[in-house]
Structures are given as structure tokens and as C-alpha cells.
Amino acid sequence: MGVVQALRRFIPQPLVAMVVLPAIALLIERAFFDPSPNLSLGAFKWTGAALIVAGVAVEAWCGVTFVRFGQTWDYFDTPARLVTDGPYRISRHPVYLGGVLINAGVALLFQSVGLFLYLGLYILILDRLVIPRIEEPVLLRNFGEAYVRYRRSVRRWL
């Protein structure tokens, strides 16, 4: 079994990026810096909750669009067709955008410096490594000129 297959089989990448790593950042912060989180519902909490709802809505919209076009949620599968409808008319990577919204919402909800630092790292890794060096070359190789036209007409994030 190759490395990619092992990752695919044993490590659900979105779960790690969206749950495990932020939870570790929050635990480290609470253990060493602020053991008593402020759970009152102030403006930051409501804004955080709204961002989480927006992120989940974007992710759900992506899921519905994927299903409608016969795509899979498996991040390691080669896409069968270029999806440019639904949220993909607004952003080339709306799944990542939804993840950023959810992570930002959680950071605001917990008022966590550690989670904001994680969010910055998450965005940096997506924007400078995952999207340009992994995802977009696969899309360009698979869809050629159609992806070039799509990339010219739709922004990466918003």
C-alpha cells in the first residue's frame, strides 16, 4: 500500500484539518494560558456562531452540488468532471472557504488566540501549498483549457 492509499484509508484529512488540529490548539492554549474560557454570549460569540452556520451552509451547498454532478467527497479521488455550478460559480474552492469560515467561527466563539493562529496557518497552507501545488495542477492536467477558462473567470476564494 502506497503512502497516498494509507492516508486515504486511515486519516480522514478534512476531519484532521477541521476538528483534530483546532482541538489540539485549543487544549494547548487552555492548558498553558487561559484555563477558564469565557462562555458568555457577547458579540464575538454571536459572530462566531454566524460564521460557523455560514461555513456549514457553504459545505452543504458544495455537497449537494457534488451529488448533483455525480462527484465524490473523497479528496484523493481524481475528479470525473469540472464542476462550475452552485458555489463553484463564486469560488473555485468553496469547500476550503467553508472550512475557513467554520474555523474562524470556532476561534471567535471560544475567543481563542491559539485557534486564530491555527486559522492563519490553515489559510497559509491552503493558499500557498495545497491549492496551487496539489489541487490546481490536477485540475489543469485533467480538464486543460476548460479549467484555464474557469480559473480566469472565477476567483480562488471569493
Q: What is the pTM of this model?
A: 0.78
CA dist 66 and 57 (Å) reads 14
CA dist 51 and 66 (Å) reads 22
Give every CB contact of residue 52 below 8 A, 6+ residues apart in sequence.
101, 102, 105, 106, 109
Q: What is the pLDDT of residue 156?
A: 94
Number of domains in the chain: 1
Q: Containing domain of residue 82, as a range?
A: 3-153
Is residue 20 within 8 Å of 103, Cβ to Cβ? no
Q: Where on the phi/psi map is residue 17: left (φ > 0), alpha (ψ -120 to 50), or beta?
A: alpha
CA dist 33 and 37 (Å) reads 10
- What is the mean pLDDT of the segment spanning 97-104? 92
Comparing CA positions, the residue from 122, 123, 119, 99 lying closest to residue 29 is 119
Q: Which residues of 69-82 are buried (b: 16+ CB within 10 A; e: fewer)?
A: bebeeeeeeeeeeb
Assess if residue 158 is contained within a domain. Answer: no
Give every CB contact of residue 116 below 8 A, 6+ residues apart in sequence.
107
Q: Which of 11-15, 43-47, 64-68, 135-139 has the lowest mean pLDDT?
A: 11-15
What pLDDT digit, counting tens, does each position of 60-96 carry?
898 889 888 888 766 667 778 899 999 999 999 998 9
- What is the mean pLDDT of the segment spanning 43-69? 88
- % pLDDT > 90, the chain: 35
Assess if residue 146 is contained within a domain. Answer: yes
Q: What is the pLDDT of residue 39?
A: 54
* Residue that wins the pLDDT comparison between 48 and 143: 143
Helices 21-32 + 113-125 axis angle, to 10: 150
Assess if residue 73 is contained within a domain. Answer: yes
CA dist 15 and 25 (Å) reads 15
The neighbour count for residue 98, using CB atoms within 10 Å, is 23
- Mean pLDDT, the chain, integer: 81
Residue 50, amino acid: A
Assess if residue 39 is contained within a domain. Answer: yes
Assess if residue 23 is contained within a domain. Answer: yes
pLDDT exceeds cutoff 60 at 46: yes
pLDDT exceeds cutoff 50 at 12: no
